[in-house]
Amino acid sequence: RLIAWVAEKNGTPLLFMADTVALKVGRVTDTGAMPANPAVDGNYIVWTDYRNGNGDIYLFDVRSGQERQITSDSAEQMFPDISSGRIVWMGNNEGAWNIYSASVGGGAQPTMMPTYAPTGYPTYAPTGYPTYAPTGYPTYAPTGYPTYGPRYSGLVGGAGNASPVIEMNSSAFANGTSIPIQYTCDGDNVSPPLSWSGVPEETESLALIVDDPDAPGGNFTHWVIYNISPEESGLAEGLPRERDLPGGMHQGKNSFGTIGYGGPCPPPGPAHHYIFHLYALNGTPDLPATVDRAVLEAEIQNYTVVEGVLVGTYGR
């Protein structure tokens, strides 16, 4: 959904992003930054930034609009990548290049100490384990950016694994297609059936947020539901509009000001996109009695392991 790139404006490199669903372009950094090597996953953008005189790793949360500095070491930190809530990069902290990792909500820590080729620069196998070219230098795409394995959010506890992926589906509509009228304000306005697979083993709870990034006043929240058991593989059609649901699930307040699901109800014009975000959490956040999207997102950012996405459309 998101694309990030660096472009020079008036002699200053700036980081930009484009939302390919909402068809919007925005600037991420201001003129005080010196960005390079951006990478994107879900709602997060990471990059190397030289504003402090050396390379540091920075993170931008698209949902909150907040930027955060991940590293503050005086040594060079570069070539970041991100997947499913984990960031990895190369750092020369002790005069030798190691691979470091951090969660989007936590501090940095080394998770893998590679065996070095003559120059000590790792490349990556498809599994996320470091391998080495004959010279030890990373391989590069035509743009000059280093190429990496597809994803390596599994770099936890010193072992590299392929990234977990949650696959979301609905028996009511296929990904990227129109949501049937019965799930909108023009019909019965009931919540659609959902199913998913690929929840990581370490997941302790799941949370779901449904939003419309095309709404005239900005992102509009249609559904907030949390404390979903990791044993669940979906949600039935037509959940009641109550805070407390069977199995310990809770629903929060949507942008209509009501509890539970509120279906698509866009103004006349082009079809809007409705994004179903399912978050796998490695903890159970301590949440207040009344929860909306902002409260839930603030609490789960330190617990998110991986995110699944399903997109539906609806126009009038």
- C-alpha–C-alpha distance, residues 206 and 200, integer Å: 11
Question: Tokens 């694994």 — which residue?
Answer: 161
Residue 2: per-residue pLDDT:
83
Is the whole-model pTM more than 0.95?
Answer: no
- C-alpha–C-alpha distance, residues 121 and 314, integer Å: 48
What's the one-letter identity of residue 163? S
Which is nearest to 253 in space by CA: 188, 187, 209, 300?
Answer: 209
Which is nearest to 113 in space by CA: 128, 92, 98?
Answer: 98
- C-alpha–C-alpha distance, residues 202 and 89, integer Å: 23
Residue 210: per-residue pLDDT:
95
**What's phi and psi for 144, nearest 5 deg?**
95, -5
Query: Same CATH topology for 2-131 and 167-314?
Result: no
> Which DSSP symbol is given to 248?
G
CB 278 within 8 A of CB 166: yes
- C-alpha–C-alpha distance, residues 77 and 58, integer Å: 10
**Segments of the chain scoring below 50 in pLDDT:** 108-164
212-250 per-residue burial string, b: 16 or more CB within 10 A, e: under 16:
bbbbeeeebbbbbbbbbebeeeebeeebeeeeebeeebb
For 211, residues 6+ apart whose C-beta sits below 8 A from its C-beta are 219, 220, 221, 222, 274, 275, 277, 293
Residue 240: per-residue pLDDT:
96
What pLDDT, in 10s, does the model give residues 235-265?
A: 999 999 999 999 999 999 999 999 999 999 9
Where do the structural domains in the chain lie, given as residue ranges?
2-131, 167-314
CB 211 within 8 A of CB 224: no
Question: Domain 167-314 sits in which CATH superfamily?
Answer: PEBP-like (3.90.280.10)
Question: Three-state SS for 181?
Answer: helix
Residue 165: per-residue pLDDT:
66
CA 56 to chain centre: 21
Residue 295: per-residue pLDDT:
92
Q: What is the biggest distance separating any 2 CA atoms in the chain, rounded to whole angstroms?
A: 66
Residue 306: per-residue pLDDT:
83
Question: Three-state SS for 182?
Answer: helix
- C-alpha–C-alpha distance, residues 300 and 59, integer Å: 16
- C-alpha–C-alpha distance, residues 37 and 46, integer Å: 8
For 23, residues 6+ apart whose C-beta sits below 8 A from its C-beta are none
Residue 159: per-residue pLDDT:
29
Residue 22: per-residue pLDDT:
66
Q: Which H or E run includes 280? A: strand 272-281
Q: Which residues does residue 17 pair with via DSSP β-bridges, in sequence order?
A: 4, 26
Instruction: Give the architecture (CATH level 2) of 2-131.
Output: 6 Propeller (2.120)
CA 102 to chain centre: 14
What pLDDT, in 10s, does the model give residues 108-159?
A: 444 444 433 333 344 443 434 343 333 333 333 333 333 333 322 322 222 2
Residue 148: per-residue pLDDT:
33
